[in-house]
Every structure is written in structure tokens, then in C-alpha cells.
């Protein structure tokens, strides 16, 4: 297999990951004179802030996803390839992907993060993560299937396990998931399952720290906690989950919670690549970069967004927050810096402009912080709606999401509660099995043979 992209006289920028940062970078490199290659394991951009609504059956995945090929239609000198990057070889200016190797002049790693299970392999196997659209769909199916089974279950203990939902992680995602599940309990269960008392459903939010939303102020944290408790969520602070066996979540103090819906949103770690020098991997699996987002010890390899950690910033000694705005600003600046490099100019260092942060708890309930302004309640919730609606790609998606929100607000109903298990075709399963067993370094261990003749001036090398 090969990427099948002609290598011409233009410098090639390979972007790994089509999240907020990678997408912004690719857009800003339009008409820059570079050949831009975007590589992502999915063929679509997803909008992570609203993934929890997909998981709770409040929104279809197509409403928060947008195909890369649609975004970059009719774009010259741009190529998209659906693949996974297996290894990076800076000394050869080359990467190995699941579909072959590719050379680059500039490499930008923007693959983001994945769920962090903190080395607990058993929890990793048992828990339900919610980091991407496919995981959110799996969680949605599990939630709905457990409710259906609970209605017909004659064993009271099993029924309670099916109706207990445990969410681990008190960050923005955990707060939002707990909030939307509480609303499902209040507005959906009485209508869809009238023969099963909604009071049997219990939602637990477990946080190892002393408060929720540790990345926000204590004032916002306390308001979020108050909102959730008013909504009936059982909040357990300073509690660390150590195991999950026999449908029981075990805490560090020895206590247990019976459940068959074990949701893990407790943290993230940077996506890893084979052959990366371990000395450049910092806290949380993030890649160490300098003020220009250049990977330490390299000249033409960069990392942006959640995947990188920039040291030396006095305001953020532990790295910038893993928020969309950081990735967007880094992607925009890096595009300008790459153009400056080609013109022989000096690059400009990155300085984060904090535009604020926010988290929604439920209907008419949210917390938001903008510089020195803090707000909570209805007005913060409206601000959250506006900001997220503006950030969604595509006019159709914006309209669909807006209409869906309006419908849900006035009818108190979410009409997408279908259990659908996608089955991959045999051809796809066989192909993935072959790719999974292919050694990522095999191609690169073989030195290329010298060409028998010089290529003609107008010929192109396929890499």
C-alpha cells in the first residue's frame, strides 16, 4: 500500500490529526505554496464538546461530525488519507502509517489525546470510555440496552445494577455526562418506561480530588456541585476508584457500588507514536515543545494542541490547558510560522490568549468564566449554547443542532433513543486484521535501492 501522492517541487507539510488544531492549520495553509497532507484514522472531524449528547441519545453523531473531504473540496495542493501513524523517523524525514510510508519537509503532530486509565489494565478492559463518537455510540447502546433489560428483569439485585450508573471523573465531561443522565432520569424514564419507577435509577459521580471542575475557579466548582446535587446526582469527592469486578466499582476505602454501567472519563493521555524518543515525552504523555511548538531536539517536527506541552510559560508552568482554543491558536500561529520559515524570517513564539472556559450541567444550568467575569445559571447556559453552536462545522449541522436543542427545550423529549449495533463487513474486518499484524518498521528497515536512471525534469515521485 502507498499514500499515492505525487512529490513535486513544493515543500510538503504532513499533519497528523484533524482535530481543532490540525484543521485550523490545514485551513490557514491554503494558497501558502505548500503541499498539505492531512492524515487521520477517521474520515471526519468530530466536535468533542458535544460527544456527551450523542452518548445520552440527545443528538445524532452526524450532527457533530463533518467529512474532511467535504471540508476541503476543490482545494488545490491538499490531500487527505485515512490512516493511522505508527512511527515517526525524524532522522529520515519520514513517517510510517498503516497504509505505507510518507516523506515530509515539515511534520505536525496534532493527534490529540486518548483516555487515560492510569495503568489499570482491568479497568481499561471493563470501563466505558467516551473520548470519540464511536465510543459515545457504544455507550448510548449500553445505556439504552440496560434500561430495556431492567424493565424485564425479575432479579431485583440485577435490576438495581442495571439502573445504577457510575461516572468516574469530575472534570467538564464528567459533570456534563452526570447532568444529562439526571435529565434523562427526570424527563425520559417516566414517559418511556412508565411501568418502572424512575426513582430506582441512581447516578454517581466520583472524583478523586477535593472538588469538581478542578481547571476552573472554586466558585464555579461549588456552583456546579450545587446544581448536580439539586438534580439528584450522588457526588463522591476525595474517592479513588481502584477496581471493577463482578459488576461492582471498588473504591480505595473498600466501599463498593453495584453497577453495570461503568463510565470512565477520569483523564486523558497523549496519543503515542512508535520510535519517538522517550526524552521528549512529558507529563500526561504529552510531547515537549519549545515556544514555537517545535518538538525538542528537532528542526522540522512540530506538535500542537492537547498532544503537546510547552514549557517555560510562567502563566502555565504545567503546560497549557487541554482546550480547543489552545489548539486553534497554536494551529493558526504555526501556519504563519511555517510560511515565515520558507521566507527566511524568524518565527514568532506562542502566547495563549485565554478566552475563558465553561461547562454545562443541564437545562438552564451552566458555569462560565471569561477573564475576570464569572457567571452561572441561565445566562451562562445561553452563552454555552451560543459558543458551541458557532463552533460546529457546516451550516446544515448548525441548523440541525439548533432545531434539536429548541425541540428538546420545549418538549422535554429526545427522540433518538434507538439501539443500533453496527457490523463491519467481512472485507473490512479482514483488511484491518492484516494491517494490525503488519510491522510498522518493516519498510523503513530496508534501504532504498539506487535508481537506474535519473528522472525527467517533469516526472513525479510517488510517496
The domain of 161 spans 119-265
**Residue 138 shares a structural domain with residue 200:** yes
**Residue 244 shares a structural domain with residue 131:** yes
CA distances from 130 to 48, 62, 134, 140 (A): 10, 16, 8, 10
**Residue 133 shares a structural domain with residue 167:** yes
**Residue 94 shares a structural domain with residue 214:** no
For the residues 133-148, what does the mean pLDDT come to?
Answer: 94
- Is residue 119 left, alpha or beta, with left meaning phi > 0 and alpha meaning psi from -120 to 50? left
User: What's the confidence (pLDDT) of residue 453?
Assistant: 43
User: What's the confidence (pLDDT) of residue 462?
Assistant: 45
**Residue 143 shares a structural domain with residue 257:** yes
**Residue 188 shares a structural domain with residue 286:** no
Q: Is 430 domain-assigned?
A: no
Q: Where are the alpha helices (DSSP H) in 77-168?
A: 121-126, 133-152, 156-163
Domain stops at, among 341, 373, 403: 341
User: What's the confidence (pLDDT) of residue 138?
Assistant: 93
Domain stops at, among 284, 312, 341: 341
Q: Is 245 domain-assigned?
A: yes
Q: Is 100 domain-assigned?
A: yes
**Residue 125 shares a structural domain with residue 106:** no
**Number of domains, the chain:** 2
Cβ burial of 243 (10 Å; 0-12, 13-18, 19+) is: middle
Helix, strand, coil % over all residues of the chain, rounded to 5: 35, 25, 40
Q: Is 210 domain-assigned?
A: yes
At 308, give phi and psi (nearest 5°). Answer: -110, 160
Q: Is 431 domain-assigned?
A: no
**Residue 259 shares a structural domain with residue 166:** yes
- We report the CATH number of the domain holding residue 96 as 3.50.50.60
Q: Is 362 domain-assigned?
A: no
Q: Is 347 domain-assigned?
A: no
For the residues 435-440, what does the mean pLDDT come to?
Answer: 64
Place of cell 476525595: 238
At 37, give phi and psi (nearest 5°). Answer: -120, 120
Domain stops at, among 341, 361, 394: 341
Confidence at 460, pLDDT banded by 50, 70, 90? very low
**Residue 186 shares a structural domain with residue 248:** yes
**Residue 95 shares a structural domain with residue 213:** no
Q: Please check the confidence at residue 419 and state whether its pLDDT lies above 60.
A: yes
* pTM for the structure as a whole: 0.89
- We report the CATH number of the domain holding residue 125 as 3.50.50.100
Q: Please check the confidence at residue 104 and state whether its pLDDT lies above 70.
A: yes
In contact, 8 and 103? CB cutoff 8 Å? no
**Residue 169 shares a structural domain with residue 253:** yes
Q: Return d(Cα 316, Cα 373) in angstroms, integer.
A: 20
**Residue 123 shares a structural domain with residue 261:** yes
- Encode pLDDT of 272-293 as tens digits: 998 888 999 999 999 999 999 9
- Encode pLDDT of 370-417 as tens digits: 877 899 999 999 999 999 888 888 787 888 888 888 877 777 666 568
Q: Is 247 domain-assigned?
A: yes
Amino acid at each position: 500500500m502507498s499514500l499515492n501522492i505525487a512529490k513535486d517541487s513544493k515543500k510538503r507539510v504532513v499533519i497528523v490529526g484533524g482535530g481543532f488544531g490540525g484543521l485550523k492549520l490545514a485551513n490557514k495553509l491554503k494558497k501558502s505554496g505548500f503541499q498539505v497532507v492531512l492524515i487521520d484514522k477517521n474520515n471526519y472531524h468530530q466536535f468533542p464538546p458535544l460527544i456527551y449528547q450523542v452518548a445520552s441519545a440527545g443528538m445524532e453523531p452526524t450532527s457533530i461530525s463533518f467529512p474532511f473531504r467535504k471540508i476541503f473540496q476543490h482545494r488545490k495542493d491538499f490531500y487527505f488519507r485515512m490512516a493511522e501513524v505508527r512511527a515517526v523517523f525524524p532522522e529520515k524525514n519520514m513517517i510510517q502509517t498503516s497504509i505505507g510510508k510518507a516523506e515530509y519537509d515539515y511534520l505536525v503532530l496534532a493527534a490529540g489525546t486518548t483516555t487515560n486509565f492510569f495503568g489499570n489494565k482491568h479497568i481499561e478492559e471493563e470501563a466505558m470510555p467516551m473520548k470519540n463518537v464511536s465510543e459515545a455510540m457504544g455507550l448510548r447502546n449500553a445505556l439504552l440496552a440496560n434500561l430495556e433489560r431492567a424493565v424485564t428483569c425479575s432479579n431485583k439485585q440485577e435490576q438495581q445494577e442495571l439502573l445504577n450508573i457510575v461516572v468516574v471523573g469530575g472534570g467538564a465531561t464528567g459533570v456534563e455526562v452526570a447532568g444529562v443522565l439526571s435529565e434523562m432520569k427526570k424527563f425520559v424514564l417516566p414517559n418511556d418506561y412508565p411501568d418502572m419507577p424512575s426513582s430506582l435509577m441512581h447516578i454517581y459521580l466520583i472524583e478523586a480530588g477535593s472538588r469538581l471542575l478542578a481547571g476552573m475557579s472554586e466558585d464555579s466548582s461549588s456552583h456546579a456541585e450545587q446544581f448536580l446535587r439539586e438534580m439528584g446526582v450522588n457526588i463522591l469527592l476525595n474517592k479513588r476508584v481502584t477496581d471493577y469486578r463482578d459488576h461492582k466499582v471498588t473504591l480505595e476505602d473498600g466501599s463498593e457500588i453495584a453497577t453495570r454501567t461503568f463510565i470512565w472519563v477520569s483523564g486523558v493521555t497523549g496519543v503515542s507514536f512508535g520510535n519517538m524518543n522517550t526524552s521528549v515525552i512529558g507529563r500526561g504523555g504529552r510531547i515537549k515543545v519549545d515556544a514555537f511548538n517545535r518538538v525538542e531536539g528537532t528542526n522540522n517536527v512540530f506538535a500542537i494542541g492537547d498532544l503537546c506541552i510547552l514549557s517555560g510559560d510562567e502563566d502555565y508552568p504545567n503546560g497549557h490547558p487541554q482546550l480547543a482554543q489552545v489548539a486553534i491558536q497554536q494551529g493558526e500561529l504555526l501556519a504563519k510560522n511555517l510560511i515565515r520559515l520558507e521566507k527566511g524570517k524568524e518565527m514568532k513564539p506562542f502566547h495563549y490568549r485565554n478566552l475563558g472556559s465553561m461547562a454545562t450541567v443541564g437545562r438552564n444550568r451552566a458555569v462560565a468564566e471569561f477573564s475576570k467575569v464569572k457567571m452561572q445559571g441561565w445566562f451562562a447556559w445561553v452563552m454555552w449554547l451560543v459558543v458551541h453552536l458557532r463552533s460546529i462545522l457546516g451550516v446544515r449541522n448548525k441548523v440541525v443542532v439548533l432545531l434539536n436543542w429548541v425541540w428538546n427545550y420545549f418538549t422535554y423529549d429526545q427522540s433518538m433513543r434507538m439501539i443500533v449495533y453496527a457490523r463491519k463487513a467481512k472485507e473490512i474486518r479482514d483488511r484491518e486484521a492484516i494491517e494490525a499484524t503488519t510491522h510498522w518498521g518493516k519498510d523503513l528497515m530496508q534501504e532504498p535501492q539506487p535508481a537506474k536512471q535519473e528522472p525527467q525534469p517533469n516526472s513525479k515521485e510517488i510517496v
